[in-house]
Structure 1
Amino acid sequence: MSISPLNGLNTNEAIRSISDPEIQGEDPDSSQEMWGQKELELPEDSYDSYSVIRYWLERKKCNKVTRYLENQAYRGKASIFRSFKHITLPEALMFIYVLTHSLEKGRYRALLRADMNSMTSQSMVFHLKIYKGLSKKLLHTITLTYHFRSLTVTLNEENKKVGRVRYVIRGKKCEEIEGVYKGKSLTLDPVWSPNRKDRLKQEYFRYGKFNANLIYNDNIKHGSIDEKAKHHHLKVRHKDLIKSHSKAVITKSLKIDDIRANVQLVFEKGILIPVFGVWKMHV
């Protein structure tokens, strides 16, 4: 996994070292400045790993989210040693959607972003929207409400509550993300390396009849998602990690059987869930 400069930015001005105890992860000595002024649109035709970063990080809404989180009373609850490689809750929901729907061949995309009109002192609302093709035909929406004090997330679909999960923190590490989604148990269980407080060696993903054990090998994790007698091969490659003093952006490519996808997630301090994400998927 590489640490790379953003397109169009001076490398010497952009890269600097950080020493922030609240946001430590796989490359703690590398970081990237990621601010701008222009408003950009999402790319429609090709996947440019930095165009999506620019779309979010160069918008005024990004700075609004940052300021909101900086003033959050319970932001210290999310002060943990981070691994940006782990399967996040939005990624798990995307896995579940792919595994439980018969998708037609073609292109799909998904977008995770904050509802700027629903931010309160207690919670922050996100919408995960899944689209078919470049026409942006909306297929599905999941609303995630993150509760700062309890470190829980409520899941709603079509204005109905369909689940709730909680983040289990022990020793300043996220040990589990566990709960219920659509009446079935959901568990994300990262297993930390005993020799490195900021490294994962494997992960477990469980949802209803689906079970997966993902083994790490450098920047690639692989395994299978077992569905009784059926096995879905899963491979994830972590391509880029870019960090500033308050943000981190991870770029991943993944494959589930014959389905391929590129994913980008933006993390902020003070919250355990990604604040922005884009998936581009080909079935």
Structure 2
Amino acid sequence: MSMAAPTTTPAPVAPIETGRRRRPIRSRMRGGMIGYLFIAPVGLGLLVLYIYPAVATFALSFTEWGPFGGNTFNGFTNYAAVFRNELFWRALGNTLLYMVIGLLVIPIAIIIAALLNKPGLRGVGVYRTLYFIPFVTLPVASGMVWKWLYNGDYGLINAFLSSFGVSGTYWVANPSTALLAIGIVQVWSQIGYYLVIFIAGIKAIPQTYLEAAELDGAGPIRRFFLVVIPLLSPSIFFCSVINVIATLQIFDLIYVMSQSSSANPAFNSAQSIVTLFYQMAFVENNKGNATALAFLLMLLIAALTAVQFRLQKKWVFYD
């Protein structure tokens, strides 16, 4: 007679711990509230100082401002008036020229940063300070000093040129040279800011990359273009975005250096969208057209910034 094999029940297997236990919902909510409290001051500042003014400007751009207050909806009349204004197209072209001139500060700052990072260079701290001083100087003060340097009668620039037999001109009073003269001051005043960023970026480049390129036979110039520039591309991208936004809003130097009068031909040939906004809003008291112009400038800045971010992946080699 055969005996049946005894059946055994397998012992229950303990669940394997796959990670830390999730915190209770109340604890997670408390942590989230603490996080929101930390960002509340910044969020409130953005809401009050940036978001609300932008929305209010957009709403007021569709209204007509009365001489004693009060707004009346007038549709796209303000935008049509701005587009019909010849000064708007001139100011738009000047603003784009200021942007192009302002971008020259980036290669200049990169070259200076590379020179200041040379090993064994003495007085590097002094050079950095001298380059950074113009950036922290008030634009009005810088504009007044450069206006004196550009003076056609007793300015130092014309005195220097006359020593070589070259006759200067009235740089900021001449419509053909006013924009370029102001653009040069703009570049000069911004070098220190970008110089600090690029110096830090170059110092962060591992020396092993440069040594490997040197062992492969690359000279200083080739190492600069094949190693330093690609590894600096994130910093270059950041600086280009900041520079474009800043130059599109240029106002102080133009107002101080070009006599700030619409009757002055040099002012009309050098004014930007922001100076035209000031002219419309506070001189002509045409606040409806001024708010429309301000919103168009905001759209221009947003569009150019979006294009830069779109192109980022094509020229940022290292992240």
Tell me if TM exceeds 0.5.
Answer: no
Which TM class, normalised by the smaller chain length? under 0.3
Structure number with bigger Rg: 2
Task: Give the helix-richer structure, 1 or 2.
Answer: 2
**TM-score with structure 1 setting the length:** 0.24
TM-score, normalising length from structure 2? 0.22
Higher relative contact order (CA 8 A, sep 6+): 2
Structure with bigger strand share is 1
